[in-house]
Structure 1
Amino acid sequence: MTTDTSSFLEHLQTQRARYRYRLPSRPDAGRFIDQLMRLLFPVTQDCKSVSQHVEETYQALHDQLTNLICPLEKNLTESPAIITERFFERLPAIYDSLLLDAHSIADNDPASIGVEEVVAVYPGFYAIAVYRFAHELLQQGVPLLPRMLTEYAHGQTGIDIHPGATIGRSFFIDHGTGVVIGETTIIGNNVKIYQGVTLGATYVAKSMAQKKRHPTIENNVVIYANATILGGHTVVGHDSVIGGNVWLTSSVEPHSLVFHQHQTDVRLKSLESLEPINFVI
């Protein structure tokens, strides 16, 4: 072994000793989410995962979550067991909230054949569900794991929702690919967004970490595809419609309609340049 290699390995050993976090298993985090979804929504079970043992599955998930949190114990103010217990106490309320989300998608998407289809296959519903689980853990002071869960959903769906965002009841994401919802975003009730929407910050600076950097979307707002809404001071008033491809960095009043102005110029050839047309009768 060369001197350079030995020095490099010593550096890695020192770094390992000083590392702040021990990460939970990423594959285990993904398995926990998918098994939790199958417990809450039997329609998501495929032919290889179907299980009728609800209590047994519930206890297994309880143990799995405790095991996921345990590596982070030094960074917690409460024990993993207490956090897990509180999460599962909150699970019925999260479940009720997810049913509202599913009904919102089913009721507002003409292509949907019903709530079961939404729950079983819609990426928007899946991403919202994982966000709501992760948000609850973040509220309890769990570091890293909430982001790990939402990044798992991001990889599965193309929808990036930070677990720190605040999202109200009956949330609708249609299609979903490319949606980005930043950490300090506040979204009210009955909001609908489409693919490619970004709710982001006007600029990125580490000094802004503890400040509100992302917009507030009030109740009953619709945001169409590829709209970009930026800034912590930007408020979209209730019952507004934001059209596709809009770039918005300032607030709009309630009941506003904001759209991207599109202009089409039709250029016609002069009559002299046109080829003669021969009619055959």
Structure 2
Amino acid sequence: MSALREPPRQAEEDLDLADIVVQLRGLRTVSQKRRYRGAPPPLPSREIIVDLIDDLVSALYPRHFGPADLAAKDVDAFVSRTLDSALHALHRQVELELALAKEWRGDNRIDTPLRAGDLVTEFAAALPRVRALLDKDVRAAFEGDPSTRSIDEIVFCFPGFAAIIRHRLAHQLHKVGVTMIARIIAEHAHSETGIDIHPGAEIEEGFFIDHGTGVVIGETAVIGRSVRLYQMVTLGAKRFDADASGVLAKNYPHHPIVEDDVVIYAGATVLGRVTIGKGSSIGGNVWLTRDVPPGSNITQAKARNESFDDGGGI
């Protein structure tokens, strides 16, 4: 009976944790020596970044995401306190990112941590513009989705709006050169909403993602005004350029340009630096690898019946 009550411990007794710890330390040391010139610098905190972005969202929409008992007379004071706290936290995280980048790249042209204040100030100054863009995004969602009953429902409930709020904040950080923190924000939004928008993507006003699950928007994508995407749409790269040694090139345009007033329906895939002309409609599950003139209506049937010299479909 005692054997039934007590789990066998032989496997645990045979386990040499001390040896495993030594091996892991050795692997960390080798990895860090490859990346850094000296001792590994402290890293930004993902937890702090997620918390401060939530605070910034509540400062942008205090009635929705602020305290439940927030009175109208207290809104400005709440926004001021929240911004002050969030921006101070962001300042420290930017310092850590800049110090890490300088150590990792060994490049004197990289901003020093002393530049963190200037970058956070530039980011903060853009917050009214971010709110103005978001108001046009939420209006586009309300006008484009017959299922919704109010603006408040969109702000509270729509994953597409939650993703675009965080994208517009992340994009501002990406623009001023704070790329790691921007990517942390984007990946957290991805995990929460199922929508993957690289913070480098340029998205104009009136953007609406309906449903949203599985949407992917690449780093160098450019999206015009009043564009609507449905679930499982990909704006991706067709191929990656590499140098003679096989190292992938970076920082060059390799994602689509989507002009104003375009609708892209569920499951469509658009790859490469192609342009979808203004006012076009791209049907569900279309695979698109070439330019589309303004006002086009592309469906699967048209894609199957057309022949193009790139061999990649329409």
Fold in common (TM above 0.5): yes
**Cα distance change on mapping 1:31 and 1:4 into 2, 3 Å:** closer
Match of 2:228 in 1: 192
1:122 aligns with 2:158: yes
1:220 aligns with 2:261: yes
1:158 aligns with 2:189: no
Q: Which has the larger helix fraction?
A: 2
CA–CA distance in 2 between the matches of 1:5 and 1:77? 36
CA–CA distance in 2 between the matches of 1:37 and 1:49? 17
CA–CA distance in 2 between the matches of 1:258 and 1:197? 14
Shift of 1:225: 0.5
**Cα distance change on mapping 1:58 and 1:255 into 2, 3 Å:** same
Match of 1:270 in 2: none
Q: Is the 8 A contact 2:53 2:86 kept in 1?
A: no
1:247 aligns with 2:291: no
Structure 2: gaps (5+ residues): 1-15, 102-109, 242-246, 303-314
CA–CA distance in 1 between the matches of 2:60 and 2:254? 34
Q: Is the 8 A contact 1:37 1:44 kept in 2?
A: no
1:209 aligns with 2:254: no
SS at match of 1:152: helix
The counterpart of 1:77, out of the listed 111, 117, 125, is 111
TM-score after normalising by structure 1: 0.85
TM-score after normalising by structure 2: 0.77
* Letter of the structure 1 residue corresponding to residue 231 of structure 2: Q
1:79-158 correspondence to structure 2 within 5 Å: 79-158=115-194
* Letter of the structure 1 residue corresponding to residue 221 of structure 2: T
CA–CA distance in 2 between the matches of 1:4 and 1:35? 40
Q: Is the 8 A contact 1:43 1:119 kept in 2?
A: no
The counterpart of 2:65, out of the listed 26, 45, 49, is 45
Shift of 1:16: 3.4
SS at match of 1:66: helix
Q: Is the 8 A contact 2:148 2:154 kept in 1?
A: yes
SS at match of 1:175: coil
Q: Is the 8 A contact 2:217 2:235 kept in 1?
A: yes
CA–CA distance in 2 between the matches of 1:181 and 1:73? 26
Q: Is the 8 A contact 2:255 2:272 kept in 1?
A: yes
SS at match of 1:199: strand
1:230 aligns with 2:271: yes
CA–CA distance in 1 between the matches of 2:167 and 2:201? 9
Q: CA RMSD in A?
A: 2.3
1:16 aligns with 2:32: yes
Residues matched between the structures, number? 261
Q: Is the 8 A contact 1:43 1:120 kept in 2?
A: no
Shift of 1:42: 2.4
SS at match of 2:179: coil
Shift of 1:123: 0.6
Shift of 1:143: 2.8
Shift of 1:46: 6.9
Shift of 1:67: 2.1
